[in-house]
Structure 1
Amino acid sequence: MVNKGVGVFVCLVIIALDITAGILGIRAEAAQNEEKHLRLWLFECKQPSQEAYNLGFAAIVLLIVAHVLANLLSGCTACSHEEIHKASLGRQLSLLSLFFTWVILAVALGLLVIGTKANHKSNASCGLSHHHFLSIGGILCFVHSLLSIAYYVTATASIH
């Protein structure tokens, strides 16, 4: 059985990692917007920002660490299709929050990677605008935090 103090500590660590990742994603967007750029509809020519790249990369790492911690420390809740229908409401909520946690992770990670990669080049580039990818990815880190905590709480409660 998991100690309540340990559970609260795990939740606080996951929240801190996700919130920090979100803030870094938003700050990366701000750093990217400070660079020179020329925009025409969906196309944009801009200078990459090393600061935006570093902040975006840090946000990616923190989001992944938060996700891994939430999944490893929550215990195994995967089960067969038949077991899902027979499972308790708590177990079903746990699986539902696990599913949405993975969906939000995929979207947030994709946006952060695209925004960060756009700032990795050593010279100016022109192409489709990657406007707001970093900030939207950062905002989704906050959503990931809520879903990860919901998953952790429901998974540990359904185990015990």
Structure 2
Amino acid sequence: MAKTVGPLICLFLMIMDVVAGILGIEAEIAQDKGKHLKVWIFECRESSHEAYKMGLAAAALLALSHSIGNVLGGCVCICSKEEIGKSSPNRQLAAGSLIFSWIILVIAFSMLVIGTVSNSRPRNTCGFSHRGLLSVGGILCFIHGLFLVAYYVSSTAAAAEEERMNQQRPPA
């Protein structure tokens, strides 16, 4: 049973991130369908309610997939350089992919939220251009999914490895 659950979890996490990425890109397309007037870095444009809804859904799915992946992946703590050297490759990979997934989450989520907020006003707005934020945030969702799946796989492998090592040790 446990061997069939792991791939399903990975598939579920990847599907959530892919859907979030597609929604982010579609939100950018919906935003670009409105009227725009651009002068240098300033832009006047109509807000798009469709882009707002899709951007909000993309940000929510990204946050949800990250939360589920971190909860199911467990805690991988490496606090010092000595621990890194003593850790198994699976544990090192889990720690590295966890760090990268958090970095990508912060960047992608920020871009999706900024792009979504720029479409939340029901009237024409003028200000700095927020073009491309939703699509880049959507693309980063795909990358986030890869790192999140790598974290889940390596953290569960490290946990299984530690369990095997504990069972092989004679009781003290």
Interval of TM-score (by shorter of Structure 1 and Structure 2): over 0.9
Question: What is the CA distance between 1:86 and its match in structure 2?
Answer: 1.7
RMSD between aligned alpha carbons? 1.0
CA distance in 2, matches of 1:93, 1:121: 43
Percent of residue pairs bearing the same amino acid type? 49
- Deviation for aligned residue 1:43: 0.8
In structure 1, stretches of 5+ residues that fail to align are none
| Amino acid across the alignment from 2:61 | L
Partner of 2:44: 45
Cα distance, 1:4 vs structure 2: 1.4
Corresponding position: 1:69 with 2:64: no
1:60-110 superposed Cα distances (whole Å, 9 cap, x missing partner): 010011101110001111232142332111111110000000000000001
Deviation at 1:134, TM superposition (A): 0.1
Q: How many Å apart are 1:159 and its aligned residue?
A: 0.5
Match of 1:55 in 2: 54
Which digits, 9 at most, give the CA deviation of each residue in 1:39-66, with x for residues without a partner?
1111100111000000000000100111
CA distance in 2, matches of 1:5, 1:64: 25
Paired position in structure 2 for 1:140: 140
Q: State which structure, 1 or 2, has the greater radius of gyration over its C-alpha atoms.
A: 2
Task: State the number of aligned residues.
Answer: 159
What is the alpha-carbon distance in structure 2 between the residues aligned to residue 4 and residue 128 of structure 1? 50
Structure 1 residue 122: deviation in Å?
1.8
1:158 aligns with 2:150: no
Q: Tell me which residue corresponds to 1:114.
A: 114
**Deviation above 4 Å: which 4+ runs of structure 1?**
none
Q: Which amino acid aligns with 2:139?
A: I
* Structure 2: segments with no counterpart, 5+ residues: 161-172
User: Which position in structure 1 is the counterpart of 2:87?
Assistant: 87
Q: Is the 8 A contact 2:78 2:95 kept in 1?
A: no
